[in-house]
Structure 1
Amino acid sequence: MTAKTENTVVIDAPMDLVWEMTNDIESWPQLFDEYAAAEILDRSPEGTIRFRLTMFPDEEGKVWSWVSLRRPDAATRTVRAHRVETGPFEFMDIAWDYQEVEGGVRMRWVQEFHVRPEMPFDDAAMAEHLNTNTKVQMARIKKLVEAAADRSGDPA
């Protein structure tokens, strides 16, 4: 069984700026409000990035952290990623796609996953959580990237 979420946002900024800011993993603790740290562990010659994300403590004080592999492709404006350390998931695959549209750049995130059966929540509950949180993070990213575009004076 596989669960899937899909969320999009249109960012009123040039494609290159949207691509650069959202693929600069080292800056994710400033771009996302949920990450305390982002550490690059390895970069392959083919462009795959292995990195660790660490979240701020949750309501119970638990700090979640995991390693992912991410492969950005600037030519197609796509990113494919998956968690290596899967935590509560049997698997978690993520696709980011960017497309120039009227009003800016449409950024789409698709997450496909399956929660481990021993977890106290199921795929549907995780999908609801991810959809809620993704909208918050995308709104934040939109605001920050658009502010950077305004400062740079680049037309969208």
Structure 2
Amino acid sequence: MTTRRTSHTAGVAAPADVAYRIVADVTSWPVHFPPTVHAVRLSGDDREERIRIWALANGALRTWVSVRRLDPAARTVEFEQAEPAAPVAAMGGAWRVEDDGDGGCRVELAHHYAAVGDDPEALALIDRAVESNSTAELDALRRAAEGAADPADLTLEFSDAEVIDGSVDDAYDFVNACDRWPERLPHVLRVELTEDEPGLQLMEMDTRSPDGSAHTTASGRVCVPGDRIVYKQTTVPPVMRTHNGEWTFRPDPGGGVRVTSRHTVVIDPDAARELAPEGLTLPEVRTKIRETLGANSRATLRAAKAHAEAHKEAHKGPRREARKEAHAEAGRERSGK
């Protein structure tokens, strides 16, 4: 098996410890790193961990499990894929963060990898993915580390929720079947959905905002049936640097299911400054984003509620008739008829 080795580096005008903390906290990668849609720690601690990552590579959404060994003192993170996804036969490498002696740092991202069956086309595909993702991740790390001193109001987190008198499955199915949103949601004009592997969706969508303007967004979505749908917008409106979201479906203590839509947005400070001549301050930009995304989420929640509750009501009649027939049959048996 032929092993290819590569190395990418970047200078970062931020302390080495700041850059290392971003690399070490894989759960923050979806906010900072463009290719990463979702990441979770499966087991371990801050010295050695087993993680699962869902990320975009060459336009496809893929997932794999990696083992990472972290050394905070040396500021290194070594990683090896434990469950590579074809066409990758093996993949590993290391992050190394070094103080440059001038208040900044130098970050190296090294990889070694091999293709299934040493296939040249597969190896070329991996080459392109490693080159593209490494460049994007180092650039994103630089922006995140250098922007760590930016005011906290560049990050916006909020949620909306709806309690639905219906089943978890029906509520989940409504959000999962986003290809049907144009016929179900007035603010959705178009959806193109690709789902080559169940639960891994790529979605391009045109939506209309409350002010009448239309926007095109693209998202990668990780769908866990009956539990959650996590997504990351890969094409965002100009004022946003990143937009991540999550739909969760939980039994409500009062009955039914509580569906929650959460958003995490990082505002692009340069785009926000460009809006200043138009009379929009940063707090007003935050309010506009909250109103726009929240309005669309609430509209989707209301439609999911109507769908799930109508589905429940539609099944009441047949269930009622079945119960009546069962009672009647039991009565006939008791009477000997």
TM-score, normalised on structure 1?
Answer: 0.84
- Separation in structure 1 between the aligned mates of residue 6 and residue 103 of structure 2, nearest angstrom: 24
Q: Quote the RMSD (CA, aligned, Å).
A: 2.3
2:85 matched to 1:84? no
Describe the superposition over 1:108-153 as per-residue Cα deviations: whole angstroms up to 9, x where unpaired: 011001011276724344224312331122112211210113559x
In the TM superposition, what are the counterparts of 1:125-136 in structure 2 within 5 Å? 125-136=125-136
SS of equivalent residue, structure 1 residue 63 = strand
Q: 1:19 to 1:151 in 2, by over 3 A?
A: farther
| Matched-pair identity in % | 27
In the TM superposition, what are the counterparts of 1:4-153 in structure 2 within 5 Å? 4-44=5-45, 47-56=47-56, 59=59, 62-87=60-85, 88-101=87-100, 102=102, 104-117=104-117, 121-151=121-151
- Separation in structure 1 between the aligned mates of residue 58 and residue 130 of structure 2, nearest angstrom: 15
- Separation in structure 2 between the aligned mates of residue 120 and residue 30 of structure 1, nearest angstrom: 34
One-letter amino acid of the counterpart of residue 115, structure 2: V
Q: 1:21 to 1:57 in 2, by over 3 A?
A: closer
- Separation in structure 1 between the aligned mates of residue 67 and residue 55 of structure 2, nearest angstrom: 17
**Unpaired runs of at least 5, structure 2:** 153-337
**Unpaired runs of at least 5, structure 1:** none
Mapped contact 1:11–1:145 kept (Cα < 8 A)? yes
Q: 1:73 to 1:57 in 2, by over 3 A?
A: closer
Mapped contact 1:92–1:111 kept (Cα < 8 A)? yes
Q: How many aligned positions are there?
A: 149
One-letter amino acid of the counterpart of residue 62, structure 2: W
- Separation in structure 1 between the aligned mates of residue 99 and residue 123 of structure 2, nearest angstrom: 32
Q: 1:11 to 1:149 in 2, by over 3 A?
A: farther
- Separation in structure 1 between the aligned mates of residue 26 and residue 135 of structure 2, nearest angstrom: 19
- Separation in structure 2 between the aligned mates of residue 110 and residue 57 of structure 1, nearest angstrom: 17
Of Structure 1 and Structure 2, the greater helix share is in 2
- Separation in structure 2 between the aligned mates of residue 38 and residue 66 of structure 1, nearest angstrom: 10
